[in-house]
Amino acid sequence: MKTAQKIRMAIAGATVAVAAVAGTAQAAGDASARVPEGAYNFSMTPFYGGPPTSRAVIVIKGNTATWHYGNQRTRQRFVHTPRGGYIDDGAGSRYVLNRTGRGVYQGPAYGFGIPVGHAVARLRR
């Protein structure tokens, strides 16, 4: 085997190993910051400036986030993580909600893996 092939195989093997460890590290841990069930005021402000482009009420129940836009309802998958959770619409958008304070969750908003804004969810009281 040539040296260049050995180097490529070593890099490929290291990449697979890092991906496996990273996936394990993300999945591990307790869900102490699990987002409590309830209704949250949600807003997303784009990085390019301007007012929040998305405002809605989301209701989190189990592993489901239900968006309430006026009379319209949309259900999406909610994944709990050790720091909070994230909403994944399955069509390229993901809203990461990390616990930052009492009833406040915030984090980046992604569009097809690219950070596009800042998401905030506040527990409705």
pTM score > 0.75 for this model?
no
Q: Evaluate if residue 6 carries a pLDDT over 50.
A: no
What per-residue confidence (pLDDT) applies to 80?
Answer: 95
* Confidence band for 55, pLDDT divided at 50, 70 and 90: confident
In the numeric block, which tokens belong to residue 14?
A: 């290291």
What are the tens digits of pLDDT across the range 96-110? 999 998 899 999 999
- Give, in order, the Cα–Cα distances in Å from 105 to each of 5, 15, 20, 74, 80: 47, 32, 28, 20, 12
Q: Which CATH architecture has domain 38-123?
A: Beta Barrel (2.40)
- Pairing outcome for strands 93-101 and 84-88: antiparallel
Pairing of strands 38-46, 114-123: antiparallel
Express each pLDDT in 30-47 by its tens digit. 445 688 999 999 999 998
pLDDT at 2: 61
Tokens 């394990």 map to which residue? 24
pLDDT recorded at residue 23: 46
